[in-house]
């Protein structure tokens, strides 16, 4: 498949994983990290809404200077039993996170913002991830590898963190940080990308 795009695309994220996923569309795009703080106080138990809020802020931080572009921003959070698990600040915190998630099912929620033509649209996708019962040797070795330190929840499903996972229910790429199938659906419906002339867009 080869898509074409109606306007230049900017990915408002420094994440190499999101860059890799967006590249699946085969479209040219530039990366412009937003550098928006992720330390926004969570004043609600609406975790999906929180992820959408962060995605909105990241998207708009770049869109302000690139109004004629398609700007895509995203934020991914990990949640279990009403608790938010951000990127760990230390190896000790990473171990704590992973021990608490061991043998349990948690939610990975990604909020995505799309800005174009003066309008921001935001959506979120949730995937359920179940961890195996983690033994201390595996857990310690994974944390010592350094892999957990830049990832929400303290693990990456696309790296050695896959060894911690029993199963997932939902979008694998959402766990990586960008639900590309849903994003593609939105971009096509907005007539921002297409496969060929006459592609049946549904503008909304």
Residues classed as catalytic: 75
Q: 127 - beta bridge partners?
A: 108
| Whole-angstrom distance, CA of residue 98 vs CA of residue 83 | 13
Chain centroid offset of residue 52 CA: 11
Angle between the 91-101 and 136-144 helix axes, to the nearest 10 degrees?
140
d(CA 155, CA 100): 13
Token reading at 60: 């708009």
CB contact at 8 A, 123 and 182: yes
Which phi and psi angles does 168 have, rounded to 5°?
-130, 155
**Token pair of 200 as six digits:** 């049946």
């Amino acid at each position: 498949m080869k898509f074409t795009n109606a306007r230049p695309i900017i990915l408002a994220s420094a994440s190499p994983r999101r860059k890799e996923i967006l590249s699946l569309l085969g479209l040219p795009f530039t990366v412009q990290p937003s550098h928006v703080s992720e330390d926004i106080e969570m004043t609600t138990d609406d975790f999906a809404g929180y992820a959408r809020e962060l995605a909105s802020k990241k998207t708009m931080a770049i869109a302000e200077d690139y109004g004629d572009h398609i700007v895509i921003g995203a934020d991914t959070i990990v949640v279990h039993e009403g608790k938010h698990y951000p990127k760990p600040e230390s190896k000790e915190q990473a171990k704590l996170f992973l021990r608490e998630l061991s043998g349990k099912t948690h939610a990975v929620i990604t909020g995505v913002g799309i800005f174009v033509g003066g309008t921001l649209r935001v959506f979120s996708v949730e995937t359920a991830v179940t961890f195996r019962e983690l033994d201390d040797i595996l857990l310690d070795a994974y944390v010592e590898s350094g892999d957990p330190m830049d990832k929400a929840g303290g693990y990456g499903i696309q790296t050695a963190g896959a060894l911690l996972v029993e199963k997932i229910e939902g979008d694998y790429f959402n766990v990586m940080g960008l639900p590309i199938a849903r994003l593609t659906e939105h971009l096509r419906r907005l007539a921002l990308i297409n496969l060929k002339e006459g592609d049946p867009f549904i503008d909304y």
